[in-house]
Chains A and B, each alone.
Chain A
């Protein structure tokens, strides 16, 4: 870290800072300037910048190394590729995950799985436990929903991702799902993250609605430090002053994360935009920005969906989006759903 002293810092104040840094096990490089003194501190530890900042005479403290270790590019240069069945997340292929917000009925889940599979999705999404803003909103079908999602994914040969909201659900969800999703509201549920660090299935970690990228990567560190190396990051929009969209979809987070971390990052344009008509443009932009995948809400009858209907795409819209993505992906040296996919209406 670099400690910049105030212009009028006294020798005693500078000495006090050097003393504290030495006590913290740091080697201090002092550079006395004409107007102010700068102290460079190097060492293996990560001293608490806040403690130094509080000392008299300190103007500012600049950290030069990131507080997260395992998630950083310094720790691992080459990108992490996560394999689930025959799906590889973080490789050249852009992986699309799609499905309804929540499991509502056998028929609804089946038809959604068939529709997204036909369009080229590799992973089926759907919730059985729903973290809704209001306790009076539909809360999900629980284990019955998990069974429906599993059956539909199996029938369509899709990998299944579903949300885990609480520690107590891990064991149950592990029996049904291939990937654990941690929602934005749980991004800083550290006991849940720590426990998922011991799980043997990948974790899709959404960014909290008001989390900085650094906080998000620190959250991933909880899972990684537990021994689970398979973390997929997911940008889903952050809260800003703008009200035209449900959240502000932070596309810049994609290249930023790519620069800082080796972990794959996907995008959730459904929550990012919060409106059906804005999902496709955001999805196209995310792929163009280098996202390793997308997670999109698709419902065969979104107007009657029990949750997130307004942001769920119709299957025909999803088909069109997939066709567009197949043109965009190669432009940046990537592919998307290599297998030929039947058009809607053909033999279905």
Chain B
């Protein structure tokens, strides 16, 4: 389930990569990354993982999304 959702998110990231390419935008959007992390921190408050751990997990998810977007924009592989 979790893996399926992550892949769904990755597909969206690829789509965003294409849009960024069309608009001539940079892959790395620090403001947007900050918003995503703030958002997940906010909704993670009750669980045992807590906001810090959730933010660390999302940093990795964002790293992978950035990698995919870079591949879409610059067309280079791994």
Instruction: Report A's interface with B, CB cutoff 8 A.
Output: 11, 15, 18-19, 22, 25, 27-32, 44
Q: Using a Cβ–Cβ cut-off of 8 Å, how many residues does chain B contribute to the interface with A? A: 16
Docked pose: A27 CA to B63 CA in angstroms:
7
Docked pose: A11 CA to B66 CA in angstroms:
18
Instruction: Report B's interface with A, CB cutoff 8 A.
Output: 26-28, 30, 34, 55-56, 59-60, 62-63, 66-67, 70, 74, 76
Q: Which residues of A contact B70 (CB under 8 A)?
A: 22, 25, 27
Docked pose: A30 CA to B66 CA in angstroms:
11
**Docked-complex contact B30 and A18, CB < 8 angstroms:** yes
Docked pose: A11 CA to B34 CA in angstroms:
10
Q: Which residues of B contact A28 (CB under 8 A)?
A: 63, 66
**Docked-complex contact A32 and B60, CB < 8 angstroms:** no
Contact (A29, B28) CB under 8 Å given A22-B66, A22-B70: no
**Docked-complex contact B56 and A32, CB < 8 angstroms:** yes
Docked pose: A22 CA to B28 CA in angstroms:
7
Docked pose: A77 CA to B28 CA in angstroms:
38
Docked pose: A25 CA to B67 CA in angstroms:
10
Contact of B59 among A15, A27, A30 (CB under 8 A): A30
Docked pose: A167 CA to B74 CA in angstroms:
42
Further 19 A-B residue pairs, CB within 8 A, beyond A22-B28, A22-B66, A44-B76: A11-B30, A11-B34, A15-B28, A18-B28, A18-B30, A19-B26, A19-B30, A25-B70, A25-B74, A25-B76, A27-B66, A27-B70, A28-B63, A30-B59, A30-B63, A31-B56, A31-B59, A32-B56, A32-B59
**Docked-complex contact B67 and A27, CB < 8 angstroms:** yes
A25 shortest CB reach to chain B, Å: 7
Q: Which residues of B contact A11 (CB under 8 A)?
A: 30, 34
6 A-B pairs whose Cβ atoms sit less than 8 Å apart in the complex: A15-B30, A19-B30, A29-B60, A31-B59, A32-B56, A32-B59
